[in-house]
Copies of this chain bind each other. A is one copy, B any other.
């Protein structure tokens, strides 16, 4: 029993929420975490603003961070499924991963319910 009466509508049983599948939740978390850093946010915007893939060397030029740090951030964006990398010789080119972008677009709905 409640040790105290509650307002009428305080604890009417809340609507049950189907938990996201482990995989889907982790995917979303990784995506949000990747964009939840100012540097990576701007980095993703830079990559997304290009017509085609952008060379890592150009990314390095745009930020006041050391090359290994840039590489580290790019890996996080890659692991989150937000960008893809392709190589031509020594050079690496990054581009937006349309799949990841689609997940981001649908994320508001994914937050509400499971999706087929």
Contact = CB atoms under 8 A, between A and B. Distances in A.
Interface of A: 6-7, 9-11, 13-17, 19-20, 25-26, 28-29, 32-38, 41-42, 44-46, 48-52, 54-55, 57-58, 62, 88-89, 91, 101, 104-105, 107-108, 111-112
Contact of A45 (B7, B17, B33, B91): B17
A62 B112 CA distance: 17
B111 A7 contact: no
Contacts of A37: 29, 33
A35 B32 contact: yes
Nearest to A52: B9
B42 A25 contact: yes
A44 B25 CA distance: 12
Contacts of A16: 49
Contacts of A58: 11, 13-14
Given A29-B38, A36-B33, A111 B48 contact: yes
A51 B91 contact: no
Contacts of A11: 55, 57-58
